[in-house]
Structure 1
Amino acid sequence: MSENTTTSTELTSQYAAQVTSDLERNLKEQERVSGEIAALQEQLDTLQQDHTVLVNMQQALGITLRPEKPATAPEQAAVPAPRKKAATRSSGTARAKKSSAALSRPRSRKSASKPPVAATTTTPPSLVELIRQHLAGQSEPRSTAEVAAALDQAHPDRGIKNTVVRTTLENLVAKGQAQRTKQGSSVYYIAPDTGRPTSSAPTATQQQEEAQSEEAQ
Structure 2
Amino acid sequence: MSENQISTTELTSQYIAQVTSDLERNSKEQERIATDISALQEQLLALQHDHTVLVNMHQALGGTSPVAAATPAAPSVPSQSSARTKQSKAAKPKKATATGAKKAEARKPGTGKTAAKAPRTTDRPSLVDLIRGHLEAQNEPRSAAEITTALTAAHPERTIKTTVVRTTLENLVARSSAQRNKQGSSVFYTATAEATAEAEPAAAAG
TM surpasses 0.5: no
Q: Rg bigger for which structure?
A: 1
TM norm structure 1: 0.35
Larger relative contact order (Cα-Cα within 8 Å, sequence gap ≥ 6): 1
Structure whose residues are more often helix by fraction: 1
